[in-house]
Chains A and B, each alone.
Chain A
Amino acid sequence: MESLKNLIICPVCQTLHKRRPIKRDEEARCIKCDTLLYKNIDGIEYKIFAFAISAFIFFFLANIFNLISINLSGFTGSFTLIEAILDLFNQGYVLVSLFALLVLEVYPFFVLLFSFLFALFMIVGFKRSAKKVLTGLELVSRWSMLDIFFIAILVAMVKIFEYASIEFDIAFWALFLVVVYEFYITKIVKIESLWDYWESR
């Protein structure tokens, strides 16, 4: 079992490598195809802990305030994230609204919660509990689609900016910061690195 911990298989070319200690913030890449294999993320739990608390606050703000306000020839309109999903539900699009609820509210919330709990459990030394929340984080993170929704807001605004004056409200910027946090966890740190880190502790 011990020897398996020291091995890593490249996800692209399947080449088997032996792990070697690397310095903080260094990366190890595949000798054959240059794919990122692992990196040293010592102390990441403290960063995640701080960022996750901030992300929770921004997620809360992103849900209670308006995302966008528009003025179209004197008529004004605005919406919150949950209002957008409820509007769709009320129009009879139950399936799409439930899907939107999951990928824009439920899964992003659990990404924040599980990453926060992972950091907390790693700090206090509850390794078994950290494994459980890490499994949960891996499962929900691929279904969180706030980043796509954020770009969709920009596309929608480009479509109507000729006809209406647009104001980006508090929730829009709060949502942007939540998207940055999720990008940091899933694309920069990467959940596989968190598994390696969990195992190395």
Chain B
Amino acid sequence: MRYIRCRFCGAVNYRRDKECRRCGFDITLDKNASLQKATAFLIAAVIFYIPANIYPILKSSTFSKVSGSTIIEGIFELMAHGDYPVAIIILIASVLVPVAKFIILAYLILSIKYGNCDSVEKKVRLYHLIEITGPWSLIDVFVVIILTALIQFKSITIIPGFGVSAFALMVFLTILSSYSLDERLLGDECGKQ
């Protein structure tokens, strides 16, 4: 293929060029660098997923005791109160989406590494999907920030738990992993055009 698309501004450039003619960003396809960065960020994100689910993300302090709840416990509490729509939103955004992102990113990394040419378009669509949905997992972190700021009474106080830091880091690292992965490498060695 003679031409290459700039990831930053979308301009068409000659493949032999190093910088985009329009925005000046690096347009070279560096398979090794892209895979190494994406894999490193992904592994770090998976590691932080464990404390994010083991430790409470929210603690409530009343006169007598301090009790915390993890993300999963929070979902069960919501279900117990009959708040199924919110419970489903949290379940999807905070539990299922991060796991799905790990699996998809690992699949895309392996596809590029081994030059798999099957369903390239679907893989690019998957990439764009995780790029768009990735930051939405932060919804739980923001809920904690809001409740912590709002509920500071004598009788009850909401305190963030350690899990919230791990969860925010996990989401941040997943976003970095997807940004590091150059989607133009998907199918690049498949002799298209």
Binding site for B on A (CB under 8 A): 1, 4, 7-9, 11-16, 33, 68, 70, 72-73, 75, 77-79, 83-85, 87-88, 91, 93, 95-96, 99-100, 103, 131, 134-135, 138, 142, 145, 148-149, 151-153, 155-156, 158-160, 162, 192, 195-196, 199
- A4 touching B21, Cβ below 8 Å: yes
Select one of B90, B136, B172 contacting A148, CB under 8 A: B136
List of B residues within 8 angstroms of A77 by Cβ:
150-153
- A93 touching B13, Cβ below 8 Å: no
List of B residues within 8 angstroms of A70 by Cβ:
150-151
How far does the alpha carbon of A165 sit from the alpha carbon of B59 in the complex, in Å? Answer: 22
Nearest 5 pairs of A and B residues by beta carbon:
A152-B142, A84-B149, A79-B149, A9-B5, A7-B12
How far does the alpha carbon of A93 sit from the alpha carbon of B163 in the complex, in Å? Answer: 11
- A155 touching B145, Cβ below 8 Å: no
How far does the alpha carbon of A151 sit from the alpha carbon of B89 in the complex, in Å? Answer: 11
A107 to B: closest C-beta gap in Å: 11
How far does the alpha carbon of A4 sit from the alpha carbon of B149 in the complex, in Å? Answer: 52
- A88 touching B160, Cβ below 8 Å: yes
- A95 touching B150, Cβ below 8 Å: no
Binding site for A on B (CB under 8 A): 1, 3-5, 8-14, 21-24, 78, 81, 83, 85-86, 89-90, 120-121, 124-125, 128, 135-136, 138-143, 145-156, 159-160, 164-165, 168-169, 172, 179, 184, 187, 192-193
How far does the alpha carbon of A84 sit from the alpha carbon of B147 in the complex, in Å? Answer: 9
- If A91-B159, A96-B165, A195-B11 touch, whether A84 touches B124 (CB-CB below 8 Å) is no
How far does the alpha carbon of A99 sit from the alpha carbon of B11 in the complex, in Å? Answer: 31
List of B residues within 8 angstroms of A160 by Cβ:
147, 150-151
List of A residues within 8 angstroms of B125 by Cβ:
12
- B149 touching A16, Cβ below 8 Å: no
Sampled A-B contacts (14; CB under 8 Å): A9-B3, A11-B124, A12-B125, A14-B187, A72-B156, A75-B154, A79-B149, A84-B149, A91-B160, A96-B160, A156-B146, A156-B147, A159-B86, A195-B10
- If A16-B3, A75-B155 touch, whether A145 touches B14 (CB-CB below 8 Å) is no
- A99 touching B139, Cβ below 8 Å: no
Residue among A16, A85, A96, A148 with most chain B CB within 10 A: A96
List of A residues within 8 angstroms of B169 by Cβ:
95
B42 to A: closest C-beta gap in Å: 18
List of B residues within 8 angstroms of A159 by Cβ:
78, 83, 86, 143, 147
- If A72-B151, A77-B153 touch, whether A199 touches B124 (CB-CB below 8 Å) is no
A42 to B: closest C-beta gap in Å: 18
List of B residues within 8 angstroms of A103 by Cβ:
138
How far does the alpha carbon of A87 sit from the alpha carbon of B136 in the complex, in Å? Answer: 22
- A152 touching B86, Cβ below 8 Å: no
- A135 touching B23, Cβ below 8 Å: yes
A138 to B: closest C-beta gap in Å: 6
Residue among A4, A7, A14 with most chain B CB within 10 A: A14
List of B residues within 8 angstroms of A95 by Cβ:
165, 168-169
- If A91-B148, A93-B160, A156-B143 touch, whether A75 touches B153 (CB-CB below 8 Å) is yes
List of B residues within 8 angstroms of A88 by Cβ:
145, 148-149, 160
List of B residues within 8 angstroms of A83 by Cβ:
149
- A148 touching B193, Cβ below 8 Å: no
- If A11-B10, A14-B192, A16-B3 touch, whether A162 touches B150 (CB-CB below 8 Å) is no
